[in-house]
Each structure stands twice: as C-alpha cells, then as structure tokens.
C-alpha cells in the first residue's frame, strides 16, 4: 500500500489507495518507457522515516521474483558502490526472514494514520465543546431568560404582605382566622380524616376541603417499608459523607434526603406500590384531577431526642392557591410512615381548617397558647382546648393514637402543621417517605398558566421532573429510563401513559412542571437551593473539589447571585473554548501540513468546522430549540400571560380590551371586604382544570350555611313552595354568630367583592335552589359557566370573537336556562345590612347631603390621638341590641377568642378592638342553681391601649363598604386625620380613599387606619332608655386609658 495525497474533494480522513505495484517497495513501472527516472517511497525499518530518492534504472528488464522484493534503502550519498552493496545485503536479509519484514513495513504507516486520526478527533472534540456552549448560550438568551423574566417577582411589599404582580389575581380574600371559626371546622375525631375504600373521588375531595388533611391505610406493604427504612438508616450512619446533592436539609436532630430510582431497589418498589394503590389513586384524582404530577420525592427523619418544630405552612399564604387559585397550582404532600409512630415519637400535628386562613401566625390559636405580653400578674389564665392534634390512623387521638407503618397522611400545603418532639423512650427515629403531588395544567385549551407555589423547596432529582402518577407503576422500567427521562424532565419528550411507550418530542409547554421551570422560579426569586447563602456554599464546594483542576481564568468568582454566576461561567468557558480551538487548528496545520501540503490540511480543518457549525449553529438551534414547546409558548405570548386581563404583569397588548369587556358585563354594587359569615359568589373558579378546587368557595363558612339551606329548600315539592320558603326565611335563616349574612359577588376582571341588593340576593338563591333540585339544569349551568370563564380568561380572551361573542353567548345560555327565575319585586332593591343605598350615587361615591353621617372622635387624654377605629352605632339589622343576644347569663364557652376583631361599646360609640385574652369568672348566683360562669374579654385597640369588657358590650366586627364616609389616619402615625369617601375596597384588605380636598390615596390598610363615621342620631343608636351594663374605663391593668 502507498499513502497518496487525497484529491481536493476528499473527506475528512486521508484516503488510502493501493499503489500500481503489488508491494509497497516494488519499483513503480512508468507508463512512459522513455522516462529514465522514477520516484519511489522508501521505508526505513530502523527509524520509521520516509525518504524519497531518485535512482537511475537500466533498460534491462528484470525477471519477476516469486518472493517479495527486498527493502531497498537509499542514502543521501547516492553513490553507485554503496547502493549496490546495500541492495545485496537487503536481498539476503529479506530471503531469510520475509514475515518479519512485512510486519515492520506496516508499523510506520499505522503510526502515521493514528496520529492524523487523533489530531482530527481532537479538532472534533474542541469544535463540539465550542458548539455546545453556543447552543447553551442561544438557549439561555432565547428561552431561559424569558422564562426567568416570567417567573421573577418584584419586591415583596411588607406592609401589604403580597407581591405587586398578584394584586389583581385574587380568587379568595385575605382571610384572618380566629379560634372560633377553626373550632367550627374541628373534626369529631381521627376517623373523620380517614378515606374509606368505597369512597368516590368527590367524597375524598370533600374531606380534604373540609379539614385540609386525610389519611389512608396500607399504602406501602410492611416489608417494603422495612427495607426502605433499613436503607435510610444506613445513609443516616454516614450522613456527613453523603454527596452534596443528596442532603438538602440538615440540622442536629432532623435530616431530609433526596432519593432517586438508581439509589436502591426499595425506592422503585415503593413507588410502584404507591402508583398501584387504587384508593390513593382515586383520592388523588378526586382532589387534583387526572394523572397529577409528582413534584417531590424525599424523606424526613426526626432523630430520637429531636425538639419540636414551630407550627408552620409549607406554602406561603401570599404565594399560593389560598389567595390566588388561578395563579398557583394547588399542591398536597403525602407522608408515609416507615414505622409504627406513636404520639411520643412526634407524629405530625395538624390544625384542621387552617388551610383557609391567611394569618401571618396561627401558633397561639392552633395550640391554645394565648399569651399577653402586657400582663405581669401571676393569675391563672383560662385555657381552651387545643385545636391542633397529632395524626393517627387507628381512630384515636392523644396518647392512644398510632400512625401505623405503611399508612399515609396527605395534607394541603397551606394547612398549619408541625413535627413534635421525638421523646420515644425506646430510642426510635421517626422516618417518613414523602411524595408531593400537584395538579396538571391544561394551558393550550383552557389558558391554564398556574405556577409552583412559593415558600418551600420541592426536592426531586432533576431527571424525575415531569413525572406523574401514572408513571409510578412503571418506576424502574421503561417510563423512567435514560436518556428519555432526562429529555422529559427538560420538557423535550413525552411519555404516553396510555400505551406505556415514548410518544415523541413534546409540542405543548406546561402540561407538568419541568426541571427547567422549577430551577428558573427558584433562581429568579432566590428561593431554596438558589439563595445567596447557598451560592456561597456551592462555590466553596467547587473550590474544595474542582477548582484545583481548573485554571483561575476559567473560574467564576461573582457572588451577586446564581444568574450572574452562570453567565460569568458560560462567558469564561466560551472564551476558553475559542482559545482551545484556535490552538487545535494551528497545531493541526503545523503537524499535518508539515508532512503534506498546507492546502490539504487547511481544507480538512475548514471541512471539520463547517460541519460542526452547521450542526450546532444552525440545525440544533433552528430546528430543535426554536421549535420546542417552550419556544412556541414564548412566541405565542402564552408564557407572558397572567391569569386575568388586568394583572399588572400582563404583556399581551390586547388584554386591556379583554379586561374592559369583562368589566362592562354587569352593573355591580359597591365593593366591600368579605367576612366569614358572608355568602361569596365567585366568578374565577369555573374551570375543569381546577378539579376539586373549583368548589373551594363552597366550604367558606357563610357558603356552607347558605348551601345547607338551599338543599333544604330544594327538597320542597313545587317551585312555588320553594320561592315562598326563600322569601320568608332567607333573612332569618342566614345568621351566623348573631350577624346576618351578606351576599357578595366577585368582579371577574378585578377580583373585588361587591354587595348584592336584596332582590339580587333572592334571585341568586333561587338559581341555587333550581340547580340543587334539577341535576340536568345543574349540568347545563356548569358548562355555561365553564364557557363564560374560558371566554374571559382563556388563551384567546384578547380576540374579538371571545370578547364580543364568546361572553355574550355564554350569558345568553345562562339566561335561557335560568330565565324563568324572576326577581321578587316586592323586595327593596337595596343592599342588606349596610345603608339606605346599594350602589354609589355617582363616580366619586359621595352621598347626598341628607345621607351624610358624621361622628366626632374620642381623644386620648395624654396624646390627643384617636383611641381606636370606631363606629357610632349600626342599624339594628347590622348589630343586634344587647338584650337580643345576652340570653342566659351563664356561659359555657366564650363568644369571642384571642386575635378576633370586634366592636366594643364605650360610652355612646362602638370602637374597633382586637381580643387578646379571655378569662372565666365563676360567681355565686341565687337565680341559677348557685353558680354563674361569666367570661371577661381583654381587648386592645390599634394604639395598643387595653380595656376589659363583658359579652354584652362586644359585637362581632362588621365591615365597611364602597361609598362610606370615613376618617383616615393620613400619615399612619396618629397625628393627622382626614375625612373622605371609600372609592373601592380590595380583597387584600386595603382601600382607595378620595379625600374632601380632592386628593386620592390608594392601598390604605382598612383595619388599621380607617374609621367609619355614622350619624349619631341615626337609626339603631343607643338611647337613654336602652341601658348596657357599664364597665370601668379608668382602670385597665393599673393604667389610665
């Protein structure tokens, strides 16, 4: 064989072609016999170098040899005698050892070929590295950066306790709970939380919505739980040596570890058992909808001797579905016990019903630990039953309770809970196997743009993201194998659960939460795993294990945040790749071009880099990244959309028109702030993708009472009887805690709550009765509301078709279905419980002169500041007179609890206070069998002053409304007060004020800085003939108020 120069159009590797002779050292026969010279390639067997000599041949024809020709070596001297002598020596040598010579001849050529191959492979590797970094940069600039911008939040408003992006996304309201309403939702025992095997998904969802937590039996087999526990015990023994990525939370007495299918066979078996548990599947799909997504897989171990945790929620109330049902996914965590857990081992404590509460702190309410910082006396304080209790699955609460091995406890992440101390005398650790599920999204059809809640980590191995419930029965099999599991985690590939096979590239963004989306949200907002302190820890980890092998000029040193760290790292590595490719290319030209032609080497380098450039700079970015599901979501505007047209962060240019169309749909009453006794008619929950969360408002206390009455009236045989019953009993039956329920309807565009008139209240109740008595009507109405919500908030809400025709068609459908229910004209068209008018008289909300109600303010003796927010007196329908609610003087339970806002009668006026302490007083009584129990309430106003009051002097708080004349602590310092009118009240508890001097102010805290002014001579005022038992105002904890 001979190495010939490749033609100009040769491929990357050199072309090997046989020479014209059979042996590489045979003299080449020239076609032109007149040419006396021939050029041959001689191989030196001693040093492996090539030399070309020109020899003189004779015209005498040599006979063909049957043996291989000799290896002729020429020397630079080219002397005739030397050539002849060497030829004879080589001929004799060749004849004695022909096989050895053949092997020696091929060795230099192989070395040359391998050397050229190595150089070309090195060029390919260097070019691939540079191309890959370019792809990463392109992906970051075109897709990851928009995703970060979409998920990044503005600065958290400490005063309003929310993010500005979500101001118009309310689906509920900023509800502050007290002990009274949590006691109403208290289960009768642990059995109320149990999911029965025969239950439907709707029944399971009812239990979850009622209490916020449920339990299930035998989710894991005992042997699986034991094997998994033994494996985790081994990890705990070497916990300090575990990889950086496996331990995501550690303290002295609690450890949380991340798990992967590749870690141990017991993990895959446990996941398969979870996925095949029929009761669990029915429960999850009843609560979350079909095939919910898996967003966490981890463990939590409470070591023996661990101290109790503070009671907390896993999701922040200001960043979860509690307030914003269409903005955040609703998520549920499931703890599976890996051992029998007693109360002394620290079974998880929950506070039932607290998943509806947006309190900043509920520890005192849930645990019954009422403390008064201003109380210095040592008197014993009345203690009430603790609302929270330890979870058990044997039907018992307290010391006899037992959370059995393999049983599961699932809870809403907004519920208040904690891990108690592990004081097991046997020294047993408490280990829980944790899975968290979230509802799936239906973005392309329904416009579902929900995101992961804020406030907690969702620890899961990166290659398990995008997994779902239906994947778990195949855990360890085809569903979660690599590389497809990794591609699906990045949102690039789809697993078809119906056919249990890989379907193909993912074309729709947002079905499940991908690893990319989760990282972007945590990184953009510096949440768990991507906080500033964790960046410092990560850099320390790199410094310890990797930086010794990386040049300093390639290390990122910034500490401004993870995004800047990644950008700096990518920039430096791209620069290093550029230098590396320049060096590799020049080396190839020098080494390869030195043994051949420089032009050939340059063509080979150009060919290599051209192919790589087409692949990494054109094919992958243009035909894969730019056509991915995420890229389509960015191009279509889906990624930038917020759930409602008026959201502050909306970027779609036509959403303003959609918002205007939604706002003009109906003439709504004045805005107000909801209370627990009110009936709330929502307009933002009508969506199939919300699953059980669609019925969230049905479990609001006022709605529960109303729906109970609706079902009772719907059982009447005729419509006439139903209408008469509603007319006669609507006002008298809907009374909760001595306050008649108002009915509020939500503005679909802004989320604010508006008062309905008496006629509208009656009509909405009859609509509900009609739906409860006729399942077919109920199905039609439900579908019509789905269509209406889709037209308002769906993916095409900005189009003319939806704005003009979609909304109108859905409303016409509802009108035809319920059109036979007419208003009761005998009822006054005024708002209940509020004032003599329902809607503001003009755009400013001002009343006529005859309707204005004023009230002076009571001043503190020492500061001259307003003592508290107060109201002179309400109409009799708003605040019952004392004689109508006192009844028997002996009280078994208090009427009000700590942290509850109330009105307190002082002298002639009602002032706004907060209950801070309750004490029971038992006195001798001759009228009631010798003993009388009376509760005293210590109350505190907004300035911090205190007073003691009895039940007769306290009324539940009743809210203000749009159009009310108020007095405002203008500078929020108690020094300057201004009068004006409420322009609007928002679900976050703030209001907008138009002052008498024409100035307008937004975001005024209603509870802290606004006082309602009422005419002193108006109806419902206390007269001299109506006496209320007085109490001492001068002596409060030994201080003068």
Transcribe 563-628 into DSSP letters. Answer: HHHHHHHHHHHHHHHHHHHHHHHHHHHHHHHTTS-HHHHHHHHHHHHHHHHIIIIIIHIIIIITTS
Cα separations (Å) of 308 from 335, 348, 402, 455?
17, 10, 18, 20
Q: Are 744 and 654 in contact (CB under 8 A)?
A: no
Beta bridge partners, 230, equal none
Computed over its alpha carbons, how large is the radius of gyration of the chain?
40
- Tokens 């959609």 belong to 658
Looking at the chain, the number of H-run helices and the number of E-run strands are 26, 33
User: 3-state class of 1015 per DSSP?
Assistant: coil
- Tokens 């429960």 belong to 283
For residue 982, the surrounding DSSP H or E stretch is: strand 977-985
HEC profile for 234-285?
HHHHCHHHCCCCCEEEECCCEEEEECCCCCCHHHHHHHHHHHCCHHHHHHHH
Beta-carbon contacts of 351 under 8 Å, excluding residues fewer than 6 positions away, are 182, 311, 362, 365, 366, 387, 388, 415, 416, 417
- CA separation for the pair 370, 266 (Å, rounded): 46
In terms of Cα–Cα distance, which of 950, 860, 759, 1008 is closest to 176?
1008
- The encoded tokens of residue 77 equal 């001297």
Confidence (pLDDT) at 168: 87
For residue 637, give the DSSP letter. T
- The encoded tokens of residue 868 equal 């508290």
Q: Is the bond preceding 483 in cis, omega lying within 30 degrees of 0?
A: yes
**What own/partner pairs with CB < 8 Å and gap ≥ 24 does 551-558 have?**
551/576
pLDDT along the chain (1041 residues), means of 10: 44 39 39 40 39 38 42 42 45 45 58 82 94 94 88 81 84 88 81 92 95 95 95 86 71 83 91 95 95 92 89 89 92 95 89 92 82 46 70 82 93 93 89 94 79 86 87 77 75 62 60 86 87 87 88 88 92 94 91 77 91 94 85 78 66 49 62 91 93 95 93 91 88 70 91 91 92 93 93 87 88 85 57 39 32 26 28 28 35 72 68 81 52 77 78 75 83 79 88 89 80 43 32 36 29
Beta bridge partners, 912, equal 903
pTM of the model: 0.76
In terms of Cα–Cα distance, which of 185, 309, 239, 169 is closest to 685?
169
- CA separation for the pair 490, 468 (Å, rounded): 14
Confidence (pLDDT) at 460: 87
Q: Are strands 679-681 and 743-746 parallel, antiparallel or unpaired?
A: parallel
- The encoded tokens of residue 795 equal 């993916």
- CA separation for the pair 747, 665 (Å, rounded): 10
- CA separation for the pair 343, 392 (Å, rounded): 8
- Tokens 């850099």 belong to 539
- Exposed, middle or buried: residue 286 (CB in 10 Å: 0-12, 13-18, 19+)? buried
For residue 943, the surrounding DSSP H or E stretch is: none
Q: Sign of dihedral through CA atoms 866, 868, 869, 875? A: negative
For residue 143, give the DSSP letter. I
- The encoded tokens of residue 236 equal 């705990």
Q: Are 914 and 1008 in contact (CB under 8 A)?
A: no
Q: How far is CA 264 from the centre of its chain?
A: 29
- Tokens 């953009």 belong to 524
In terms of Cα–Cα distance, which of 743, 709, 723, 733 is closest to 824?
723
Q: List, as one string, the DSSP characters of 888-942.
A: SS--SS-SS-TT-EEEEEETTEEEEEEEEEEEEEEEEETTTTEEEEEEEEEEE-T
Confidence (pLDDT) at 245: 67
Q: How far apart are the first and last CA of the chain?
A: 112
């Amino acid at each position: 064989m001979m190495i010939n120069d490749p033609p100009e159009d040769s491929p990357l590797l050199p072309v090997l072609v046989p020479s014209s002779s059979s042996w590489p050292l045979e003299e080449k026969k020239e076609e032109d016999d007149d040419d006396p010279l021939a050029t041959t390639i001689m191989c030196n067997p001693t040093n492996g170098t090539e030399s070309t000599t020109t020899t003189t041949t004779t015209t005498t024809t040599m006979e063909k040899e049957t043996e291989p020709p000799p290896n002729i070596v020429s020397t630079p001297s080219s002397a005739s005698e030397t050539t002849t002598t060497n030829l004879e020596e080589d001929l004799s040598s060749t004849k004695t050892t022909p096989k050895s010579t053949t092997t020696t001849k091929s060795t230099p050529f192989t070395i040359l070929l391998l050397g050229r191959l190595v150089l070309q492979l090195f060029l390919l590797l260097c070019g691939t590295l540079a191309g890959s970094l370019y792809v990463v940069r392109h992906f970051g600039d075109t897709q990851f950066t928009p995703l970060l911008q979409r998920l990044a939040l503005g600065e958290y408003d400490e005063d309003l306790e929310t993010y500005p992006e979500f101001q118009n996304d309310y689906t509920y309201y900023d509800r502050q709970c007290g002990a009274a309403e949590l006691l109403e939702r208290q289960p009768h025992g642990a059995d109320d939380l149990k999911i029965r095997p025969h239950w439907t998904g709707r029944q399971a969802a009812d239990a979850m919505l009622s209490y916020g937590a449920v339990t299930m039996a035998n989710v894991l087999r005992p042997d699986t739980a034991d094997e998994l526990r033994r494996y985790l015990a081994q990890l705990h023994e070497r916990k300090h040596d575990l990889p950086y990525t496996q331990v995501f939370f550690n303290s002295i007495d609690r450890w949380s570890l991340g798990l992967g299918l590749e870690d141990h066979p017991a993990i895959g078996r446990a996941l398969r058992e979870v996925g095949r548990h029929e009761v669990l599947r029915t429960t999850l799909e009843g609560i979350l909808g079909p095939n919910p997504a898996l967003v966490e897989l981890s463990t939590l171990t409470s070591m023996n001797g661990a101290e109790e945790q503070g009671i907390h929620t896993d999701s922040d109330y200001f960043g979860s579905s509690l307030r914003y049902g269409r903005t955040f996914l609703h998520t549920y965590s499931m703890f599976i016990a890996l051992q029998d857990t007693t109360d002394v081992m620290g079974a998880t404590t929950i506070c039932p019903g607290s998943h509806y509460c947006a309190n900043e702190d509920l520890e005192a309410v849930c645990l019954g630990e009422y403390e008064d910082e201003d109380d210095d006396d040592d008197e014993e304080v009345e203690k009430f039953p603790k609302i929270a209790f330890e979870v058990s699955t044997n039907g018992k609460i307290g010391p006899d309770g037992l959370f059995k091995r393999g049983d599961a406890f699932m809870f809403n992440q907004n519920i208040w809970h904690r891990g108690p101390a592990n004081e097991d005398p046997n020294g047993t650790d408490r280990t829980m196997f944790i899975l968290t599920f979230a509802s799936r999204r239906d973005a392309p059809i329904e416009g579902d743009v929900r995101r992961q809640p804020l406030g907690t980590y969702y620890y899961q191995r990166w290659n398990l993201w995008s997994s779902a419930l239906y994947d778990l029965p195949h855990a360890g099999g085809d569903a979660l194998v690599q590389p497809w599991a990794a591609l699906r985690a990045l949102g690039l590939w789809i697993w078809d659960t119906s056919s249990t096979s890989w379907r193909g590239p993912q074309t729709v963004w947002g079905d499940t939460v991908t690893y990319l989306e989760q990282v972007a949200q945590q990184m953009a907002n510096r949440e768990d795993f991507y906080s500033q302190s964790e960046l410092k820890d990560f850099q320390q980890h790199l410094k310890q294990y990797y930086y010794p092998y990386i040049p300093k000029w390639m290390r990122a040193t910034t500490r401004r945040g993870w995004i800047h760290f990644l950008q700096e790292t990518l920039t430096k590595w791209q620069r290093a790749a550029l230098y590396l490719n320049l060096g590799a290319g020049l080396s190839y030209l020098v080494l390869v071009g030195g043994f051949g032609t420089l032009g050939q080497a340059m063509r080979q380098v150009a060919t290599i880099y051209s192919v790589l450039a087409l692949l990494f700079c054109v094919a992958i970015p243009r035909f894969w990244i730019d056509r991915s599901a995420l890229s389509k979501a960015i191009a279509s505007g889906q990624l930038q959309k917020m759930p409602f047209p008026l959201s502050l962060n909306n970027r779609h240019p036509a959403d303003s028109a959609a918002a205007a169309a939604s706002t003009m749909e109906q003439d709504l009453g004045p805005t107000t702030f909801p209370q627990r006794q009110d009936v709330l008619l929502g307009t933002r929950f009508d969506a199939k993708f919300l699953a059980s969360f669609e019925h969230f408002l049905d479990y609001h206390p006022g709605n529960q009472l109303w729906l109970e009455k609706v079902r009772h009236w719907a059982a009447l045989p005729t419509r006439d009887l139903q209408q008469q019953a509603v007319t006669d009993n609507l006002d008298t039956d809907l009374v909760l805690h001595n306050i008649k329920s108002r009915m509020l309807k939500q503005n679909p565009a802004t989320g604010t709550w508006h008062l309905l008139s008496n006629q509208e209240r009656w009509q909405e109740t009859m609509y509900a009765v009609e739906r409860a008595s006729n399942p077919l009507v109920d199905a039609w109405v439900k579908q019509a509301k789905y269509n209406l919500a889709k037209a308002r908030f769906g993916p095409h809400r900005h189009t003319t078709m939806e704005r003009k025709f979609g909304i109108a068609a859905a409303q016409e459908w509802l009108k035809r279905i319920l059109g036979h229910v007419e208003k009761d004209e005998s009822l006054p068209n005024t708002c209940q419980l509020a004032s003599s008018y329902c809607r503001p008289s003009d755009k400013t909300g001002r009343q006529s002169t005859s309707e204005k109600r004023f009230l002076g303010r009571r001043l503190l003796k020492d500061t001259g500041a307003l003592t508290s927010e107060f109201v002179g007196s309400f109409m009799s329908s708003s605040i019952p007179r004392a004689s109508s609610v006192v009844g028997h003087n002996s009280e078994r339970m208090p009427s009000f609890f700590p942290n509850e806002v109330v009105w307190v009668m002082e002298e002639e006026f009602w002032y706004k206070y907060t209950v801070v302490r309750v004490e029971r007083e038992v006195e001798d009584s001759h009228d009631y069998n010798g003993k009388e129990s009376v509760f005293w309430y210590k109350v505190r106003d907004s300035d911090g002053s205190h007073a003691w009051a009895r039940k007769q002097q306290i009324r539940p708080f009743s809210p203000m409304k749009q159009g009310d004349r108020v007095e405002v602590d203008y500078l929020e310092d108690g020094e300057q007060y201004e009068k004006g009118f409420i322009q609007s009240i928002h679900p976050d508890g703030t209001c907008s004020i138009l002052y008498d001097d024409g100035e307008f102010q937004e975001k005024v805290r209603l509870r802290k800085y606004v006082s309602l002014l009422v005419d002193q001579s108006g109806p419902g005022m206390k007269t001299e003939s109506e006496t209320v038992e007085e109490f001492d105002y001068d002596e409060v904890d030994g201080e003068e108020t």
